[in-house]
């Protein structure tokens, strides 16, 4: 079985040929259908990833990068280039950003600067302190609120580490008007950094099975969506096509794909 990454994964996977609007409405319909069957002990559940699914985290990286670039100790020849970085240059990783900027990572000074920046970024990105920079994708909160109002239970399932990021994760969800209610929303964070994201995501199985029936998951990371689709073969798995790692995974054959939470937007 072949393993594919990024665009090759998309090209080799099967996504139902539906527009963004049709996918988003299908999830709503499935919630309604489930509730019509009057199964109060198995409420419909929606799994929602946070980073690069509900939230545009490029703003977080941008703020960290600007901070690093402004410090006097980093007077390097790449500074003028980094000065002009905008959100559009921020991909999944700093390596993506360097590529988009046309930087030459093999050049010794650039190599050194990027290494220093990466370490600076790594010390900050995964902390409460920089989470306030995150912004939800347009329509994400409204759509999620709609699912909640239909009667769905929401599980925010994130690879963010609980001890370092819980406080502002909750604060942001409330700030940005995502549903937050003791009885019908749960935030599942990583208890330890040593657990792989994909394992952490698979581990939600027991919680879901105890709580109700998984209707759909929303996720931007190919490896995670493939893992979830195996754990919950009956549910819809929706790939949020934003940014994602180049970690390879096998091709999917029963997936959905969106690039927005706004129903009027579709793939061109």
List residues binding Mg ion (CB under 5 A): 49, 51-53, 220
In whole angstroms, the minimum distance from the beta carbon of 7 to Mg ion comes to 18
Judged by CB, which is closer to Mg ion: 24, or 198?
198
In whole angstroms, the minimum distance from the beta carbon of 218 to Mg ion comes to 9
| Tokens, residue 255 | 């997936």
With a CB cutoff of 8 Å and minimum separation 6, the contacts of 116 are: 68, 74
Q: How many angstroms from the chain centroid is the CA of residue 88?
A: 17
Which residue's CB comes closest to Mg ion? 51
d(CA 173, CA 58): 17
In whole angstroms, the minimum distance from the beta carbon of 48 to Mg ion comes to 10
In whole angstroms, the minimum distance from the beta carbon of 49 to Mg ion comes to 4
Beta-bridge mates of residue 236? 216
Judged by CB, which is closer to Mg ion: 20, or 52?
52
Other Cβ atoms less than 10 A from the Cβ of 142: the count is 14
Judged by CB, which is closer to Mg ion: 185, or 220?
220
With a CB cutoff of 8 Å and minimum separation 6, the contacts of 64 are: 120, 121, 124, 125, 130
Judged by CB, which is closer to Mg ion: 49, or 134?
49
Q: For tokens 């901070």, what's the residue?
A: 67
Judged by CB, which is closer to Mg ion: 68, or 130?
130
Judged by CB, which is closer to Mg ion: 52, or 144?
52
Contact between 215 and 30 (Cβ < 8 Å) = yes
Segments of the chain assigned E as strands: 44-48, 55-56, 135-136, 153-161, 185-190, 213-219, 236-240, 256-258
Burial group, residue 262, by CB count within 10 angstroms (0-12, 13-18, 19+)? middle
d(CA 230, CA 72): 50
In whole angstroms, the minimum distance from the beta carbon of 58 to Mg ion comes to 12
In whole angstroms, the minimum distance from the beta carbon of 97 to Mg ion comes to 17
């Amino acid at each position: 079985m072949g393993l594919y990454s990024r665009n090759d994964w998309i090209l080799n996977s099967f996504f139902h040929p539906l527009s963004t609007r049709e996918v988003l409405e299908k999830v709503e319909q499935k919630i309604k259908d489930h509730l019509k069957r009057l199964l109060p002990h198995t409420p419909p559940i929606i799994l929602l990833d946070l980073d690069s699914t509900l939230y545009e985290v490029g703003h977080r990286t941008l703020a960290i990068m600007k901070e690093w670039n402004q410090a006097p100790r980093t007077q390097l020849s790449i500074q003028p280039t980094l000065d002009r970085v905008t959100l559009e240059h921020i991909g999944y990783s700093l390596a993506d950003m360097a590529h988009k900027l046309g930087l030459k990572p093999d050049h010794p000074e650039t190599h050194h600067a990027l290494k220093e920046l990466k370490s600076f970024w790594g010390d900050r990105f995964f902390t409460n302190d920089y989470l306030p920079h995150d912004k939800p994708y347009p329509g994400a909160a409204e759509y999620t609120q709609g699912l909640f109002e239909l009667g769905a239970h929401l599980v925010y399932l994130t690879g963010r580490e609980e001890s370092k990021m819980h406080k502002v994760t909750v604060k942001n969800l409330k700030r940005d008007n995502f549903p937050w209610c003791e009885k019908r929303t749960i935030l599942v964070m990583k208890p330890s950094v040593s657990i792989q994201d994909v394992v952490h995501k698979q581990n939600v199985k027991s919680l879901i099975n105890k709580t109700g029936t998984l209707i759909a998951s929303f996720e931007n990371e190919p490896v995670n969506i493939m893992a979830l689709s195996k754990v919950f073969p009956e549910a819809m798995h929706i790939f949020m096509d934003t940014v994602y790692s180049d970690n390879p995974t096998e091709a999917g054959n029963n997936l959905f794909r969106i690039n927005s939470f706004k129903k009027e937007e579709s793939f061109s």
